[in-house]
């Protein structure tokens, strides 16, 4: 994931914007930024079981948290949506 993630083109951001959760998620991600990599690895480990439970976006969140550029793009897109 490179560049800025557009809200309409990324399902995670579109869902957060639709539910008006962009600002709370942005604040949560900013506050827990030092734990980003550990959380990404934990989600990556849990992704197969979460997929069986019907939570398909866990793998997408793991990919975003493990990639610093994707994480920065996600934060920037959430800032745009939250305005």
SS (H, E, C) 3-37: CCCCCCCCHHHHHHHHCCCHHHHHHHHHHCHHHHH
* More reliable by pLDDT, 5 or 41: 41
- Model confidence pLDDT, tens digit, residues 10-55: 777 888 888 999 899 999 989 988 999 999 999 889 988 888 888 8
Residue pLDDT, tens place only, 47-68: 888 888 888 888 888 888 889 9
**Quick one: pLDDT at residue 1?**
44
Does residue 4 register a pLDDT over 80? Answer: no
Global confidence as pTM: 0.70
Give the per-residue pLDDT at 27. Answer: 92
pLDDT for the residue 9:
55
4 vs 2: CA distance, rounded Å: 7
**Cα separations (Å) of 72 from 28, 49, 53, 55?**
14, 27, 29, 24
């Amino acid at each position: 994931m490179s560049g800025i993630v557009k809200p309409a083109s990324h399902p995670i951001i579109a869902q957060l914007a639709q539910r008006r959760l962009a600002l709370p998620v942005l604040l949560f991600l900013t506050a827990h930024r030092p734990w980003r990599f550990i959380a990404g690895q934990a989600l990556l480990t849990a992704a197969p079981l979460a997929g069986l439970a019907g939570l398909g976006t866990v793998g997408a969140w793991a990919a975003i948290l493990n990639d610093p550029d994707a994480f920065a793009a996600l934060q920037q897109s959430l800032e745009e949506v939250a305005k």
